[in-house]
Amino acid sequence: MTERTRPATLKDVAKGAGVSISTVSRVFSNPGRISPETSERVREVARKLRFTPNVMARSLITGRSPNIGLVVPDITNPYMTTLLKAAQKVSRLHATGVFVADTDDSADIEREVCEQFAQQSRGVILCAPRMTASHIRELSGIVPLVLVNRVVEGIPSVFTDSRAALRELVEELVELGHRRLAYLPGPAGSWSNTQRGRTVADRARALDVEMIRLDPTDGTHADGVAAAEQVLELGVTAVMAFDDVLAAGLVEGLRRSGKSVPDDVSVTGHDDILSELVHPGLTTVTGQSARVGQLAISRLLDGSGPASGPGPESGTHQAESVGVKATVVRRNSTAAPPRSG
């Protein structure tokens, strides 16, 4: 007898695993409906027979693409990288591929990419979108959408809810003695940037201390380095940065200017993605990017919300939105302000 020369079929795998053909099909198309033991047995037989499911043929039969699209404004940002890895981990459980597109913070590119994905995917996860709310609603009419870190009424979304944590940080800086603080903003088109800037400004106003909004940035490390000059000119003693990338850049910029963190200026970040790589370690706020990515994929594929697994969800901001609660992570980048004179 010669070795098998034809490709293995669903029937071959079903016979080898002792299950029906429909069970084999579900293992590769909707594994959540099959017990883990059966699924693993079928996959083991499939590996031995070198069986490869024809996902394109299945998509023609079912009318559903085996892929989803994930659109990010800047894939080099560690927050987005972590979110992508977490999303892919969940998508594999659903036998679903992930197409990724970087829009370079452009609303026009964002819309163009989403329209392309609408033709070749079963849905799109739109991360920190720069498009207007009306354009987002328009897109939701042609392809299922889940937003990440943007809330638009009527569209499912998942976001990092760091409002309580940011207020807590402002309070701690004031307790340390700071009275002249600053917010180092991220990209102007970022919904999260608007929310964070408003939160820290409101809390500072309530505590009767200054919260100066520094010049706009594109959210890069170089922007953080450049911001050090303005920080020193204004004489602020504590800076709350939009994220850890900007905060890390600011720490470096202050070092180049001969200033020390936190002895001369206290600095905080957001996302907890670079904090331990910066010296001193950054006091920051957890971005919960992995959990946000997991929930976004689950909401797109099966409509689930916080029930997708254990996590720090804070309930819903609106009926369609799930906020993932952030917390403060204290390290060594904050201290009492230097004494004048």
Contact 245, 78 (CB under 8 A): yes
**Pick from 26-35, 75-84, 289-298: least confident:** 26-35
Query: Residue 30's pLDDT is what?
Result: 63
Angle, CA 235 vertex, CA 257 and CA 261 arms, to 5°: 50
Chain centroid to CA 267? 23
The per-residue pLDDT of the chain, averaged, comes to 87
Q: What is the mean pLDDT of residues 195-215?
A: 98
Q: 240, 270, 285 — which closes off a domain?
A: 285
More confident call, 341 vs 278: 278
Counted residue by residue, the chain has a size of 341
3-class secondary-structure state, position 286: strand
Together in a domain, 276 and 192: yes
Q: Coil, strand or helix: which one is 312? A: coil
Residue 215 C-alpha from the chain's centroid? 25
In 185-316, at which residue ranges do the beta strands (DSSP E only) sit?
A: 210-213, 238-241, 266-268, 284-285, 313-316
340 pLDDT above the threshold of 80: no
Q: What is the mean pLDDT of residues 103-125?
A: 89
Residue pLDDT, tens place only, 232-290: 999 999 999 999 999 999 999 999 999 999 999 999 999 998 877 899 999 999 989 99
Is there a domain that residue 334 lies in? no
C-alpha distances (whole Å) from 123 to each of 26, 31, 140 are 20, 19, 9
- Which residues neighbour 291 within 8 Å (Cβ) at sequence distance 6 or greater? 86, 311, 312, 324
Instruction: Look at strands 328-329 and 284-285 and give their pairing.
Output: antiparallel
Residues 170/133, Cβ–Cβ less than 8 Å: no
CA distance 142 to 78: 30
CA distance 147 to 158: 6
* CATH code: domain of residue 250: 3.40.50.2300
- Which of 159-168, 183-192, 210-219, 316-325 is predicted with the least confidence, judged by mean pLDDT? 316-325
Q: How confident is the model at residue 291 (pLDDT cuts 50, 70, 90)?
A: very high
Q: For residues 94 and 248, which has the higher predicted lDDT (pLDDT)?
A: 248
Do residues 101 and 115 touch, judged by C-beta distance below 8 A? no
Q: Is 83 part of a structural domain of the chain?
A: yes
Residues in CB range of 75: below 8 A, 6 or more apart: 81, 84, 100, 102
Question: Longest C-alpha distance within the chain, in Å?
Answer: 94
Answer whether 325's CB lies under 8 Å from 313's CB.
yes
Question: Domains in the chain: how many in total?
Answer: 3
Structure tokens at 275: 């904090």
Residue 139 has pLDDT above 80, yes or no: yes
pLDDT tier at 1, thresholds 50, 70, 90:
very low
- 26: containing domain: 1-50
Average pLDDT over residues 59-70: 63
341 occurs within a structural domain: no
What is this structure's pTM? Answer: 0.77
Half-sphere exposure of 239 (CA within 13 A, CB side): 35
pLDDT value for 255? 97
Whether residues 297 and 151 share a domain: the answer is yes
200 with 242, same domain? Answer: yes
What integer pLDDT is reported at residue 62 of this predicted model? 46
Identify the band that residue 155 occupies on the pLDDT scale cut at 50, 70 and 90.
Answer: very high
Report d(CA 99, CA 91) in Å as an integer. 11
Rounded (to 5) percent helix, strand, coil in the chain: 45, 15, 40
Q: Which amino acid is at 139?
A: L
**What band does 307 get if pLDDT is binned at 50, 70 and 90?**
very low
9 domain residue, yes or no: yes
Q: How confident is the model at residue 23 (pLDDT cuts 50, 70, 90)?
A: confident
Which residue has tokens 């039969």?
Answer: 61
Mean pLDDT (whole number) for 308-330: 69
Using CA of residue 156, residue 290, residue 37, residue 42, what is the dihedral sign?
A: positive
Q: Residues 178, 259: one domain?
A: yes
Q: Which residues contact 331 (CB under 8 A, 6 or more apart)?
A: 275, 276, 280, 281, 282, 283, 284
216 pLDDT higher than 50: yes
Residue 168 has pLDDT above 50, yes or no: yes
Mean pLDDT of 196-213: 98
Query: Greater confidence, 320 or 53?
Result: 320
In a domain, residue 317? The reply is no
The pLDDT value given to residue 237: 98
Per-residue b or e along 127-148, where b marks 16 or more CB atoms closer than 10 Å to that residue's CB: bbbbbeeebbeebbeebbbbbb
pLDDT on residue 163: 97
| Whether residues 167 and 155 fall in one domain | no
Rounded to a whole number of angstroms, the CA Rg of the chain reads: 24
The answer as to whether 97 is a domain residue is yes
pLDDT score for 285: 97
CATH of the domain at 34: 1.10.260
Do 104 and 148 belong together in one domain? yes
pLDDT in tens, 40-63: 898 888 888 877 665 444 443 444
8 A C-beta contact, residue 214 and residue 184: yes
pLDDT at 318: 43
Spatial neighbors of 33 by CB under 8 A, at least 6 apart, are: 26
* The predicted structure's pLDDT at residue 95: 78
| Sign of the torsion formed by the C-alpha atoms of 22, 24, 28 and 30 | positive
pLDDT above 60 (res 310): no
